[in-house]
Amino acid sequence: MNVLVLAPVMTKDLCDDYFLYKRLYEKGVKLAFITGQSSGARANHIRLPFYENVDGIPIYRLYGSFNEMLLFPERRLKKILEIAKDLKPDLILCHLADNMNMALHVQKHLKIPIVLHVEIASDIARTKFRPRAIVKRLIGIPATGPQHWSWLCKKASAIITSHPPDKKILHLLSENGKPTYYLPWPASIPEDCELQSIRNRNRGIYAGLLTQWKNTQQFEWILPLILEKTPTKEFLVIGAGVHAAIIKKLEEKYHGAIKYIPRLKRREVINFIANSYYAFTPVKRGGWGFIGDCWGTGTPLLMLNNIFVSEELDVCVVKNREELIGKINRLYEDPEFYRQLQDIGYHEFNKRGVDVVSDELLNILSKTLKQKGLKAHGKHREN
């Protein structure tokens, strides 16, 4: 099978989902990425190389930014078609709804199915006013959530969502009988990560975007509480975003007990996670990369919200200030509780490992081709 992937950003050093595609490639799926040069908010919009071939997978960063991909896809269409002529894709895998405009421009020439992968389908379907609504109207894309979702269902041959609560409402999200699937966000620890075996008992950690979307404004009261009411001597925050101002202000107030690093390569972040005594996340939605890295390194993770809607994870959730203090203190006082959270993490990690998720994604892509009466180029390997 040959797949042309459209993504806002793709780089091995920053993107945890890269290893999902690497696994597909190892199974015999031929891939090429069309993406942007900007790293996005995750790494303060640093510029990435125009072209890379990583592990045998070509990454063409033809656009300056994700906004250019949305608004002016035709600017690089000729080059995309040249890439497609060599790749001979069986289908287009479009990551994020805003790339559908580009996917449709490409599809006009290639006449192949589009599989759309969004992170949170229910957000698109329910939100009355979509971001950049006026801009979208100007380029012919429905702007309101329900209209936009209907348009996506009409244009895509299949839709994938990675939001755990969406799993229970796939039948409601599907319109016009459109196949709609839940695919867990992949969890992986790169093989070349040299994880430290000794943990710093003094340190807690969070890594990820610092934005309203991630609910990180909660750190304004959470971090002082942790430092004042638990044995934690140091809390490390890694990430960029508007709430960095909150972290910097606390960093000054607590004189080194709070440490802030705007950005690091993913392997460096994972090493910090593995070396920390525990991790905490306030996110309400998303944040799956950091969560997966905690689980994979055996770092006990506490969450402000049960974003996976899972009874098994209830023990990891802190619902108020008292539970936050109590469960962190228990990690220090109760080795059995510490191991329990580690075991839960390893179990959840294995359910979402790249081997499992790549098999599920390949199955979805194969089903899409079969439903369209198409046959894939080549054969994939079972590893």
For residue 102, pLDDT beyond 70: yes
pTM score: 0.92
Closest residue by Cα to residue 32 from 73, 96, 118, 93: 93
DSSP for residue 317: B
For residue 173, pLDDT beyond 60: yes
Fold type of domain 2-186+353-371? Rossmann fold (3.40.50)
59-78 pLDDT tens trace: 999 999 988 998 899 999 99
For residue 139, pLDDT beyond 90: no
Phi (first) and psi of residue 115, to 5 degrees:
-105, 120
Quick one: average pLDDT of 156-185? Answer: 95
User: Using 50, 70 and 90 to split pLDDT, how confident is the model at 372?
Assistant: confident
Residue entry with tokens 């390569």: 265
Q: What is the pLDDT of residue 380?
A: 61
Quick one: average pLDDT of 101-119? Answer: 96
- One fold for both 2-186+353-371 and 200-351? yes
User: Using 50, 70 and 90 to split pLDDT, how confident is the model at 203?
Assistant: very high
Q: What is the pLDDT of residue 34?
A: 97
For residue 382, pLDDT beyond 60: no
Q: What is the pLDDT of residue 128?
A: 67
Quick one: average pLDDT of 17-32? Answer: 96
| Conformational region of residue 9, where left means phi above 0, alpha means psi within -120 to 50, and beta covers everything else | beta
For residue 11, pLDDT beyond 70: yes
Complete DSSP assignment for 223-286: HHHHHHHSS--EEEEE--STTHHHHHHHHHHTTTSEEEES---HHHHHHHHHHEEEEEE--SS-
Q: If you count DSSP H runs as helices and E runs as strands, how many of each does the chain have, helices first?
A: 15, 13
Q: What is the pLDDT of residue 39?
A: 82
Residue entry with tokens 């755990």: 164
What is the CB neighbour count within 10 angstroms for residue 99? Answer: 27
Quick one: average pLDDT of 29-55? Answer: 89
For residue 45, pLDDT beyond 80: no
Find all residues with CB under 8 Å of 318, minimum gap 6, and list them: 302, 303, 304, 324, 327
d(CA 354, CA 334): 32
Decide: 11 and 38 in contact? Cβ < 8 Å. no
CATH code for residues 200-351: 3.40.50.2000
What is the CB neighbour count within 10 angstroms for residue 371? Answer: 12
d(CA 67, CA 52): 21
In the chain, pLDDT over 70 holds for what percent of residues?
95
- By residue count, the chain amounts to 383
Quick one: average pLDDT of 258-278? Answer: 94
Residue entry with tokens 């490390």: 236
In the chain, pLDDT over 90 holds for what percent of residues?
79
Q: What is the pLDDT of residue 40?
A: 78
Phi (first) and psi of residue 143, to 5 degrees:
-95, -35
Quick one: average pLDDT of 234-253? Answer: 96
Q: What is the pLDDT of residue 381?
A: 56
Phi (first) and psi of residue 265, to 5 degrees:
-65, 155
Residue entry with tokens 């799926």: 29
Domain ranges of the chain: 2-186+353-371, 200-351
User: Using 50, 70 and 90 to split pLDDT, how confident is the model at 31?
Assistant: very high
d(CA 279, CA 355): 25
d(CA 356, CA 364): 13
d(CA 339, CA 188): 21
Closest residue by Cα to residue 249 from 230, 279, 224, 215: 224
SS3 label, residue 335: helix
For residue 138, pLDDT beyond 70: no
